[in-house]
Structure 1
Amino acid sequence: MAKNSTPLVLATTALLALAACDGKIIGEGVDEGGFGNPTMTNLLVQTGQINPVQALGERFAREVPTTITFPFNSAQLTPEARATLDRQANFIRQFPEVRFRVYGHADLVGSDGYNYSLGKRRAEAVVGYFAARGLSRSRLEALVSYGETRPVIQTPGPEEANRRTVTEVSGFVARHPTVLDGKYADIIYRTYIEGAVSVPTTTTGAAGAGDPGASAPPAGG
């Protein structure tokens, strides 16, 4: 066999194993928008070809709005922001092994120092909101504020899109049992794996044509 066919063989073997392991269909009923992608990415994570933090971060960004915005010169959460944070919190709650970081930003109105502080307060407001909903602060960071240095829209005036926080996956909880076991792919695709359903076994009372033990039917016309 040609040397460059090895990755294809490994990928095919993994796909078959995940599809038929223990009489289950892995991921049955889970629509992540790209049929087959979870299984392939699972393989790449297992073999070290994809960084698990990156893979989970991409999933978070795909499934949940990662950004909220703020009123001018304020770190108060609007009802719309709270609704988005509730969605983020629901995702975070599924992964007790994973840590998240909140980045605070400001628009370009005001001094650098003031906007740095304002961005930090916005990030801390998000972490506080998560904590109030039962998420452990040990898994949440509000340590980095970009202030006004990374605007979405380059304008010197007030701009809501620039007054924001962004939540991102930052890593895994040190010494968590699952992480120590190295089961990163299980963590990333927990919902995918839990979506497995048993394959029903069809039996009939009489031997059929496909039954190797069936007797030949009587001759007739």
Structure 2
Amino acid sequence: MGLRKVTLFAAVGLATLAACGNNENWHKEAGSFYTSRGSFGEATALNIAYQTGERSFVVDLNNRFSQEVLTTVNFAFNSAQLDEAARDILRVQAQWIKQFPEIRFKVYGHTDAVGSRGYNKQLGKRRAHAVVNFLTTQGIHRSRLVAAISFGEDQPLIVTQGRERLNRRTVTEVTGFMSNNPATLDGKYAEIIMREYIESATEQPPNTESGLESISGQSE
């Protein structure tokens, strides 16, 4: 009986080792399968972000940002010019962004599929820069805004090879904390929310005489 158990355990061990040898991920960095690219160092950065609380705060704030304001603006065909509708949306974005001076934002540029891939990459970048430039005119410091990313035609909302306004867009997202605000990660998130809560308070009008008389009448 004992010999059979030993033989069984040995067989299981060999099978496990064989499985590890055949698994192409066994030699990669621990946690790499949680990231999109799995490149070296990415899992470590992800772990740090979770441990400091930055990642969860950024996700929460970005969800709130997308729920409270329009994060997307659209463009005319082959254009990086902001129309009045886009400027109206960006003014609202700027007001929201001003509430959180500790937070950085990134603007992603997109195009439709008309034109070459290389041209669309550049067009998407010009659109992202147009948005960032306008936000700076609304009082947002340039160091808080990044417009270096363009997806070009690679992430359409509507899959088509023709012209499509919904695909010609930029998207603004929360991406992290300012590097000169490290204390924000040390339990300061609640203070940010508390500050916003206090600043949002409005003075209530005093009770009118008619209101007081009504209350007095009810008490009698």
Instruction: Assess same fold via TM > 0.5.
Output: yes
Large movers: runs of 4+ above 3 Å: 192-198
1:114 is aligned, of 111, 119, 122, to 119
Report if the CA contact (8 A) 1:68-1:164 is conserved: yes
Aligned residues: 153
1:142 is aligned, of 137, 144, 147, to 147
* Matched residue SS, 2:91: helix
1:151 is aligned, of 148, 156, 166, to 156
1:4 aligned residue: none
Partners in 2 of 1:92 and 1:141 — Cα distance?
14
Partners in 1 of 2:159 and 2:148 — Cα distance?
24
1:176 and 2:181 are equivalent in the alignment: yes
Amino acid at match of 2:153: E
* Matched residue SS, 1:51: helix
Partners in 1 of 2:167 and 2:145 — Cα distance?
22
1:58 is aligned, of 60, 63, 68, to 63
Partners in 2 of 1:190 and 1:111 — Cα distance?
48
Partners in 2 of 1:186 and 1:146 — Cα distance?
36
After superposition, the Cα gap between the structure-2 partners of 1:194 and 1:113, relative to the gap in structure 1 and judged at 3 Å, is same
1:91 and 2:100 are equivalent in the alignment: no
2:86 aligned residue: 81
Amino acid at match of 1:65: L
1:69 and 2:74 are equivalent in the alignment: yes
> What stretches of structure 1 of length at least 5 have no aligned partner?
1-44, 199-221
Aligned-pair identity (%): 57
Partners in 1 of 2:180 and 2:167 — Cα distance?
37
Q: What is the RMSD of the two structures over their aligned residues, measured on CA atoms?
A: 2.6
2:197 aligned residue: 192
After superposition, the Cα gap between the structure-2 partners of 1:189 and 1:144, relative to the gap in structure 1 and judged at 3 Å, is farther
* Matched residue SS, 2:175: strand
1:160 and 2:162 are equivalent in the alignment: no
Tell me which of the two structures has the higher relative contact order, counting C-alpha pairs closer than 8 angstroms and 6 or more residues apart: 1
* Matched residue SS, 2:170: strand
2:133 aligned residue: 128
Shift of 1:176: 1.6
> What stretches of structure 2 of length at least 5 have no aligned partner?
1-49, 204-220
Between 182-191 and 59-68, report the one with greater CA deviation.
Answer: 182-191
Larger radius of gyration between Structure 1 and Structure 2 = 2
Shift of 1:188: 4.6
Shift of 1:186: 2.8
Partners in 1 of 2:62 and 2:195 — Cα distance?
14
Amino acid at match of 1:155: T
Amino acid at match of 2:100: F
What's the CA shift string for 1:149-181, capped at 9, x where partnerless? 000000000000000000000000012265164
What's the CA shift string for 1:189-211, capped at 9, x where partnerless? 6433545699xxxxxxxxxxxxx
| Counterparts of residues 8-27 of structure 1 (less than 5 Å) | none
1:207 aligned residue: none
